[in-house]
Chain A
Amino acid sequence: AQSVTQLGSHVSVSEGALVLLRCNYSSSVPPYLFWYVQYPNQGLQLLLKYTSAATLVKGINGFEAEFKKSETSFHLTKPSAHMSDAAEYFCAVSDYNNDMRFGAGTRLTVKP
């Protein structure tokens, strides 16, 4: 079965610094990969997804992720962090069976 591993349960950056949240996947078939964000007391919101088209995927709020098959990675980046980016971020993988598996999540803190 497919799975994702998020490296680092907590990441702290300064406002204006690069955000890098790491995700590695395991899948025996070409995966569909997603990043979701969860703000306090809210449900998850889709940031971006990879569905076997362009390997560099741009999402909302200035985030992007690059699918690297050779590294089985789908890391999430943003050039300049904003205070409003503080949230929990989840990487997820799905296959044609629609069984979407989420990573454990990475809590992003942005320091002023």
Chain B
Amino acid sequence: DSGVTQTPKHLITATGQRVTLRCSPRSGDLSVYWYQQSLDQGLQFLIQYYNGEERAKGNILERFSAQQFPDLHSELNLSSLELGDSALYFCASSVGRAPTSDLFFGSGTQLSVL
């Protein structure tokens, strides 16, 4: 158990809908990262937050947004969903914001867009 909690584990929805994925980092970790894993794109970095502020941005679509709350949990919002958004979404956390910080991954949320 990495200590990172992601909910829900599975999510099935329809095209055009909006969903929210939730992540609780390990106790004491200030950084949260979001990744998307799909068969055709592999593991893609989406975004990182450190202590409530956006720290780094990767291949995140404009239809997607995220935030980190004062209690350090994070939410990833996906809107106007398309079939191609079906993927496994991972959250990871680390103590610091440095690129050498160890990342601890949650078990992921499997999103299926029908």
Residues of A that sit less than 8 Å from B by CB: 32, 36, 41-46, 49, 51, 90, 94-105
Contact B42 A46 (CB under 8 A): no
B55 at the interface (CB under 8 A from A): yes
Contact with A along B1-32 (1 / 0, CB 8 A): 01010000000000000000000000000000
Using C-beta atoms within 8 Å of the partner chain, give the interface range for chain B: 20 to 34
Partner of B42, one of A36, A94, A105: A105
Contact B107 A99 (CB under 8 A): no
Nearest CB of chain A from residue B99's CB, rounded to whole Å: 4
User: How far is A99 from B103 in the complex, measured between Cα atoms in Å?
Assistant: 13
Contact A43 B105 (CB under 8 A): yes
In the bound complex, residues from chain A placing their C-beta under 8 Å from that of B42 are 102-105
Number of residue pairs across A and B with beta carbons under 8 Å? 57
Residues of B that sit less than 8 Å from A by CB: 2, 4, 33, 35, 42-45, 48, 55-58, 90, 92, 97-100, 102-108
Name the residue among B35, B58, B103 with the largest chain A CB count within 10 angstroms: B103
Contact A32 B100 (CB under 8 A): yes
Partner of B43, one of A42, A96, A102: A102
Contact A43 B45 (CB under 8 A): no
Contact B90 A44 (CB under 8 A): yes
User: How far is A52 from B100 in the complex, measured between Cα atoms in Å?
Assistant: 10
User: How far is A94 from B43 in the complex, measured between Cα atoms in Å?
Assistant: 14
* Sample of 5 more A-B contacts, CB < 8 Å, known A100-B103, A103-B42, A105-B43: A43-B2, A43-B105, A99-B57, A101-B45, A102-B42
Given A43-B4, A45-B2, A100–B99 Cβ distance below 8 Å? yes
Given A99-B56, A99-B58, A43–B106 Cβ distance below 8 Å? yes
Contact B105 A44 (CB under 8 A): yes
User: How far is A100 from B44 in the complex, measured between Cα atoms in Å?
Assistant: 9
Contact B90 A43 (CB under 8 A): yes
